[in-house]
Amino acid sequence: MGTLYGFAYHDKALEFLQSLGKKLRRQIANRIQKLAANPTPKGYKILKGVKDGTDSIYRIRQGDHRILYVIRNPVIVILDIDNRKDVYR
């Protein structure tokens, strides 16, 4: 059986989640929960030229929103969640 990862959230990601409506918040939370079993799901990308310390930053999509995270065994750190037009700034 594979490894299940835990989660840690940056304040910025938590603030954004709290500002969302219930339906969208649930969709994004479900997408994040699926990372526990597979931190590199179909459609993930590694951001080029951007690192968090020495760790690569990964991105997954949820509709018009992007979830940026770092894998630090056994924890996935959710760095940021935002609309696709604002998340990379």
| Domains present along the chain, CATH in parentheses | 6-83 (3.30.2310.20)
pLDDT, position 1: 53
Residue type, 83: N
The model's pTM is: 0.91
Q: Quick check: 59 and 68 in contact, CB under 8 A? A: yes
Strands, E, within the chain: which ranges?
A: 6-9, 45-52, 55-62, 65-72, 75-83
CA distances from 80 to 1, 13, 60 (A): 29, 5, 11
Confidence at residue 65, expressed as pLDDT on a 0 to 100 scale: 96
**pLDDT tens for each residue of 6-56:** 999 999 999 999 999 999 999 999 999 999 999 999 999 999 998 998 999
Say what the pLDDT of residue 89 is.
75
